[in-house]
Amino acid sequence: MKHFLALIVFLAVAFAVAAFGAQFQPGEWYAVLEKPPWNPPNWVFGPVWTVLYVTIAVAAWLVWRRRGTGERRARTRFALGLWAVQLALNGLWSWLFFGLQRPGWALVDIVVLVIAIAWTARAFHRLVPAAGWLLIPYLAWVAYATTLNGAICWLAR
């Protein structure tokens, strides 16, 4: 039961970040921006992010479940700290890009986010390999989003 409740907490945290980001809708400003030809239709983002937030939460839960004692517990805390940092950067991106309409600032954030996700995936993989692998689709999607963000900045100059 304790493990199930912990999973619910990790899901709640991940989806709280999703809810924060969802406050900042693309709107008219985004609709008129020039976008690269590889920009997916808007309807793709919701389903993709829903799956990714689930995998982000499950990965953290898997690491938490095997936290152990001593050195392993310290490495687990560090890895979960990285997880929290990358989630904060994730939520910050929506506010910067859509809320403040600052794609340049958002680009800086998303580049740091890619690094944070990669670092988190590596730390997770060292503790629970499956948890690290669960973050790879997220890393790939955010890397792709980074190219979109960069292209939007480039096209707007």
Which domains are delineated in the chain? Answer: 2-156 (1.20.1260.100)
> What is the chain's percent helix, strand, coil content, to nearest 5?
85, 0, 15
Going by C-alpha positions, the residue among 89, 82, 100 that lies closest to residue 27 is 100
* pLDDT at residue number 67: 84
Write out residues in the chain with pLDDT < 50, as ranges: none
**Distance in angstroms (rounded) separating the CA atoms of residues 138 and 12:** 18
Whole-prediction pTM value?
Answer: 0.95
**Distance in angstroms (rounded) separating the CA atoms of residues 123 and 126:** 5
* pLDDT at residue number 122: 98
Residue 93: strand, helix, or coil: helix
